[in-house]
Structure 1
Amino acid sequence: MTQFKLPENEYLKVGSTEFAYKKLGTEEGIPLVFIIHFRGTMENWDPLMLENIAKERPVILFDNVGVGYTNGETPSTIDTMAEDTYQFINGLGYQQVDILGFSIGGMVAQSLAIHHPDLVRKLILSGTGPAGGIGPSHPKMEEMMYKAEGSEEDAIETFLFLFYPETEKGRELGKQSLNRIFSQKTKDSTLQVRDAQLAAIAQWTNEKFDQAKIQLHNIENPTLVINGDNDIMVPTENSFMLSQNIPDAQLIIYPNAGHGHLFQHPVRFASHVNTFLNE
């Protein structure tokens, strides 16, 4: 089977920022805007997942400020990243979109829904957590995060550890997904991106959850929270915290899956996303 190919980059100038983005999928319908994980670029989504979602709706991928092919300096707060995302979507001329945020992208998606609720029709929060949520506790986490600076082999081993369960089936599905992802041309993120995003995540995690709950209660958008049952990067308990505090939220937990549940089960994930957005 021929792998789904991403279209060429398009560019949008907003102030001093030239956002790089890709449009795929159908011509009609409300676009689904994807917000990527830590240090990720447009090419770090699993193409099999994208293909199955894009069969039913317009999809927009983009590199936020300072990441990948977008110029500028990556901000060090989640709220600023969300405001940059708003400026990008507004610059495209959309008055309403659906949002899918994965990992740090899910934190940005929450901030976007809180500060620009009219822009967001439906919200998908994948492998993420609330402000003031539960941080990672695995003793090898920091070591593996920095190991990704090495060779492609190191990067693959890092992703297998961070994103997938340490089972034979989990690693096999992880390798299949990573082979699809790594076959795509990409532009690696810089150390400035890494450090700024780490600072943003730390600030987000160190906030008071009692205060964050108030903002979560104000999210009126229909929301799908989804994760694996063994997420070591953004512990799965965070997904329960989100679903219990966003009024119109539903929760899906994949068994024997980790942070990369959406890549481990790309077709299943796409089906859940499309079903939710079509309701």
Structure 2
Amino acid sequence: MNAVASIHHAVSAPNQFVEVSGRTLAYRSIGEGRPLLLCTRFRGTMDVWDPAFLDGLADEGFRVITFDYSGLGLSTGQPTYNPAEMVRDPIDLMAALDLGEVVLGGWSLGGLVAQVALAVAGERISHLVLIGTNPPGHMVKPSEQLFYDTAVIEHYALKEEEILFFEPKSEASRKAAAESAARIAERTEGRSPPVPIAFARANIGDGPRNPIFPADAVLEVLKTTTKPILHLGGDHDIIFPVENWYALNQMLPTLQLITYPSAGHGPQHQYPRASAEHVGSFVRSTG
């Protein structure tokens, strides 16, 4: 670990707050260097990210910023799970923290938000880093019912974590799930309150739908952008199957795809060091 990153750890990063447009956004920042802003998943707060992944990104020379969406976690305001409305949070945070041009990342639902941000505020974004998310439009492979049945459980045990974010059929993936959960649990103070289960259930639906991200304008931006895009995925993602990205080969001119074996919806938690290194290499080698 380099000298800069060694004084910044995700587990102990202090909560910080900024007032923006009549609401308070809570965020944490670790590392120094190029700003990388991360949008979290469904039912996510700042505390669902694996510290090993965040610290790995800091080691790669990024200033890594995580945050809670409006009205959720430690942030105030009106909550929503509509990506077209959620996008105001990362955009406002970029301006409030005077970040300049950023690498914008998003996991799952956060990846949909990041894609919308590229469409409406592309001048603020140098690269897009997407993790376990879905492209706009028709899906060649839809989500599995197992996701919808599991995601509405109020308190996730390790079994649910394995189903949602890893590959339960793989012993190595199950081991990685336990190790990741232990790292996430290391933070015991200043944690964000969980997303209210009633809000989550009201925003998920009861089964697969297609498309899940009907955003033709965003897809057109992805087809014409010059901004480099990276997607990190698992080979068995029950929520947003990676096959939907491969179906767009030769249509998206700047897209790079990395798919991890025996992995699910949270590849950056199963392979935290490799994921951070891939992100660092991607940003350094494209522009």
User: TM over 0.5: same fold?
Assistant: yes
User: Could you tell me which residue of structure 1 aligns to residue 54 of structure 2?
Assistant: 50
**Match in the other structure for 1:20:** 26
Question: Deviations along 1:126-163, whole A, 9 cap, x unmatched?
Answer: 1111122436443422221112x03xxx4322111111
1:228 aligns with 234
Matched to 1:81, the amino acid is M
Name the residue aligned to 2:179: 176
Q: Deviations over 1:48-96 (max 9, x none)?
A: 1111111222111111111210012212411111122211211111221
Deviation at 1:195, TM superposition (A): 4.4
- Output the CA distance in 2 between the equivalents of 1:235 and 1:131: 13
CA deviation map 1:183-211 (0-9, x unaligned): 32432111354146537x979716276x6
Per-residue CA deviation, residues 200-259 of structure 1 (Å, 9 max, x unaligned), is x979716276x6532321332111111011111111112324564332111111111111
Question: Which 10-residue stretch deviates more, 241-250 or 174-183?
Answer: 241-250
Relative distance call for 1:54 and 1:193 in structure 2 (3 A) is farther
| Pair 1:33-2:37 in alignment | yes
Does 1:250 pair with 2:256? yes
Aligned AA for 1:33?
L
Structure 1 runs of 4+ off > 3 angstroms? 201-204, 241-245
Aligned residues: 270
From 158, 163, 166, the equivalent of 1:164 is 166
CA–CA separation in structure 2 for the residues paired with 1:203 and 1:193: 22
Residue in 2 that maps onto 1:274: 280
Structure 1 residues 60 and 256, CA gap change in structure 2 (3 angstroms): same
Structure 2 match to 1:262: 268
Q: 1:197 to 1:21 in 2, by over 3 A?
A: farther
Give the unaligned 5+ runs of structure 1: none
CA RMSD of aligned residues (A): 2.4
Q: TM-score, normalised by structure 2?
A: 0.86
Give the match's secondary structure for 2:106. strand
Q: Which runs of 5+ in 2 are unaligned?
A: 1-5
Q: Which residue of 1 aligns with 2:64?
A: 59
TM-score (norm 1): 0.88
| SS of residue in 2 equivalent to 1:278 | helix
1:108, CA displacement in angstroms? Answer: 0.4
Residue by residue, what CA displacement relative to the aligned partner does 1:75-130 show, whole Å, maximum 9, x if unpaired?
24111111222112111112211111110111000000011110000111111111
Give the letter for the 2:177 counterpart.
G
Cα separation, 2, equivalents of 1:140 and 1:119: 37
1:15-64 CA-partner distances (Å, limit 9, x unpaired): 211000011102xx320001111111111111111111112221111111
Query: Contact 2:152/2:197 (CA < 8 Å) preserved in 1?
Result: no
Give the alignment of 1:128-207 within 5 angstroms. Answer: 128-134=133-139, 136-147=142-153, 149-150=154-155, 154-166=156-168, 167-185=170-188, 186=191, 187-191=193-197, 193-195=199-201, 197-198=203-204, 205=212, 207=214
- Opposite residue 275 of structure 1, the aligned amino acid is S
Q: Does 1:83 align with 2:88?
A: yes
Distance, in Å, in 1 between the alignment partners of 2:264 and 2:81 is: 26
User: Which structure's residues are more often helix, by fraction?
Assistant: 1
CA distance in 2, matches of 1:242, 1:10: 39
Counterpart mapping for 1:90-105 below 5 A:
90-105=95-110
Paired residue for 2:120, among 101, 115, 119?
Answer: 115
